Amino acid sequence: MKINKIILNRFKRFSDLTISDIPETAKLIVLVGPNGSGKTSLFEALNHWYKMSGFGDPGQQDYIEKKDGAPTTGNWYQNKVQIEFFNNQQFNQEQIRGKFYFRTAYRNEPDFTVSNLNKQNDPTKNVKLANLMQNDMTVSENYQRLVGQTLAGVYKEKNNLKTVEQLREELIGKIKRSLSTVFEDLNLSSIGDPLSNGSFYFEKGLAKDFHYKNLSAGEKSVFDLLLDMIIKSTFYSDAIFCIDEPEAHMHTRLQSKVLKELYNLTPNNSQLWISTHSIGMLKEAEDIEQQNPGTVVFLDFDNRDFDLTEVMRPTQINKAIWDRFFDLAFADFAKLIAPRRIVFCEGTSQGRRYKDFDAQIYGKILGQKYHDTKFISIGSSTELENIENQSIKMVSNILKSSEIVKFVDRDDKSEQEVQELIQKGIRTSTRRNIECYLFDDELISKLCEQQGKAALIAECLQAKNVAIQESVARGNPADDIKSASGKIFTELKRILSLTQCGNNKCAFVRDTMTPLVTEDTILYSEIEKEIF
């Protein structure tokens, strides 16, 4: 089921609004615009149509009808909202039920524990929300519904040969998998005892049986959205899913993961409509469109006069939308929070082991003196050198008062390539890679002295040279200390009998070697000069 066209007549703030030309391929419709521009009112219109057409419930006139002084003729609720679906689909009252799914922006259920079970009715058989101002609590309801499905599964003959573990995996496995795509360290472990301490319990780090109430607001918000989509999917298998501000309580990176998962949970024959102020969600929507062309469109509510006749058509994301979105998201605060300088360096913000590695190193070395500088890992050398890099342009446009510095490793770049990069405003390290600095003879000597083992300096430096020779024998350049760094780390740890210095090479470099680069070292002056 997919919407093609919507017409609103004197509905809330809209005098005469037509939204048309929504492509049939669109699976995700993103509503963007400032607060008070009408995004939630559009969802109210869809909810009104659903209640009126499916349940004969017109709602409250003083809440729905626009108060513009115009006379009302006939029944006030007639033709307030008209919706056209693709393939000219027509539905009777019974068929409409279960075709619209709504979540308000007020989703808050901080705690619950169940001690007795109540049968949960089919959610498509009644109206859940009179309006989108209501607090939308679903977690405890979905807990009872999940337990009910579990009990029903036990008594189905088709499950006779299944183990308890298999049956449990079928019932909560999808929830666990969905949650794991968003969180790296939060796992649903059990549903407790429904007759005494029924709730959702999690594993988080070393903590076991972590009660739902102990989750953070952001974790609860994510769990609520994913749980409800999964539990209700059997009831809303062909529907319009409307979620108002799904990003509530979440940080930017989490927001993007949640939108991707909500998109994947939405059936292909359905549409997911969201309203958002989130840069994370807007960027993720753009990425989804790039991966699945034609499936994402935007409705821009900004700079419109809804007291007049307005026609709104979907658009793909473009520079104008981004610029307006940044203005809305940051406004004058960008100048207040912007660092004086931003240094884009190589590395990735993804994964665990190498996450933001270069940025962390430079931040540890130079951060105390240059506290107004932010180091950001932006990708490979090629991505950083690309003058059209969207991430760099995005930050540059937002934080216009910040000086932007681009810094890349020398690698095998010729002198002419270095000069060409300088002309592009990109600075290059003198040495091949960051390991060349952090396994420098000066630092290895300082490490020995710090450990009270200055007598072992020569042995440590010899071990480093042997590791480099072995790397060269493997076909690596003599100045490629990165290729030899694993062996250097192992030998330094052995010779100096180091403990709690880092479990792997990356941790050792970050936590043991980097703090040795202080302002009194030659190495510090070299790095400082190259970057600044």
**pLDDT above 90: percentage of residues in the chain:** 50
pLDDT at 337: 54
Tokens 């349940």 correspond to what residue?
55
Residues with Cβ within 8 Å of 342's Cβ and at least 6 positions away in sequence, in order, are 373, 374, 376, 395, 399, 402, 403, 404, 405
pLDDT at 248: 84
Instruction: Count how many Cα atoms sit within 13 Å of the Cα of residue 361 in the half-sphere of its side chain.
Output: 28
pLDDT exceeds 60 at position 333: no
Q: How many residues in the chain? A: 532
Taking residue 513's Cβ as centre, other Cβ atoms within 10 Å add up to: 24
Q: What value does the mean pLDDT take over residues 380-404?
A: 66
Sign of CA dihedral 458, 459, 465, 468: negative
195 or 448: which leads in pLDDT: 448
pLDDT at 352: 45
Confidence at 192, pLDDT banded by 50, 70, 90? confident
How far is 504 from 486, CA to CA, in rounded Å? 8
pLDDT at 402: 79
Compute the mean pLDDT over every residue in the chain, rounded to the nearest whole number: 87
Query: Which long-range CB contacts under 8 A does 17-23 form with residues at least 24 apart?
Result: 17/306, 17/309, 17/310, 17/311, 17/312, 18/309, 18/310, 18/311, 18/312, 19/299, 19/312, 19/313, 19/314, 20/311, 20/312, 20/313, 21/313, 21/314, 22/297, 22/314, 23/294, 23/297, 23/314
pLDDT digits (tens, 9 = 90+) for 17-61: 999 999 999 999 999 988 888 999 999 999 999 999 999 999 898
All structural domains of the chain: 3-329 (3.40.50.300), 335-428 (no CATH), 434-531 (no CATH)
Confidence at 396, pLDDT banded by 50, 70, 90? low
DSSP string, 168-229: HHHHHHHHHHHHHHH-SSEEEEE---TTTSBS-EEEETTEEEEEGGGS-HHHHHHHHHHHHH
Pairing of strands 341-345, 14-19: unpaired
pLDDT exceeds 90 at position 368: no
pLDDT at 30: 94
How far is 485 from 464, CA to CA, in rounded Å? 8
pLDDT at 76: 86
Tokens 């540059």 correspond to what residue?
396
Q: Is 199 within 8 Å of 114 (Cβ atoms)?
A: yes
CA distance to 26, 340, 398, per residue, from 337 (Å): 37, 9, 11
pLDDT at 388: 53
pLDDT at 470: 96
247 or 324: which leads in pLDDT: 247
Q: What value does the mean pLDDT take over residues 393-420?
A: 82
* pTM summary value: 0.64
- Which of the residue ranges 122-136, 226-240, 366-380, 463-477 would you say has the lowest mean pLDDT? 366-380
pLDDT digits (tens, 9 = 90+) for 258-315: 999 999 999 989 999 999 988 888 889 989 999 999 999 999 898 888 999 999 999 8
pLDDT digits (tens, 9 = 90+) for 463-484: 999 999 999 999 999 999 999 9
pLDDT at 113: 87
DSSP code, position 376: E
Q: What value does the mean pLDDT take over residues 84-92?
A: 87
